[in-house]
Amino acid sequence: MKLFDRLTKILGRKKEAKIIVVGLNNSVKNVNFTAFDMSGHDRYRSLWEHYYKDCQGIIFIIDSSDKLRLVVSKEELDMLLQHPDVVGRKVPILFLANKMDLPDSLTSVKLVAALGLDRIQNKPWHICSTNAVTGEGLQPAIEWLTDQIRDIYINNRK
């Protein structure tokens, strides 16, 4: 997957953090991520929750060009946010609005509204427009997540 090739180039290898990468199918700074790239196919989504307890960050990938399945993305996000292993934790969530280069893709502002991201009050979250093929937008996105993980888990040891 080109996304992980790019992430590998961005990340350093001095510290480690466990993150999970979720989203529907088709959809740095001295910290080494152990990423679990979870299948987005509907029959495998129930497996996501087995990784919530130990994760220190979540990357939720959104296909910004697939307006029809945005409702499904919102449902999956709602289940993630309500899961007992996530609800009481300050785990940072990075939303990658992928495929922003395609015609008629939704803007980040419209995705925030459609997914109700503004209602997330107890967790740091950030949305970045990305293009996984070219890598556009990935560097600042991963830097944000790295900073959050460092502040919450590494520096403060929470």
Q: What angle do CA 147, 150, 153 make, to 5 degrees?
A: 140
| CATH code of the domain containing 105 | 3.40.50.300
Range of the domain at 124: 2-154
Residue 52 pLDDT more than 70?
A: yes
Please indicate whether residue 39 or residue 66 has the higher confidence score (pLDDT).
Answer: 66
What domain count does the chain have?
A: 1
Q: CB under 8 Å to 75, separation ≥6 — which residues?
A: none
Q: What pLDDT does 4 receive?
A: 53
Please indicate whether residue 148 or residue 45 has the higher confidence score (pLDDT).
Answer: 148
139 class by beta-carbon count within 10 Å (0-12 exposed, 13-18 middle, 19+ buried): middle
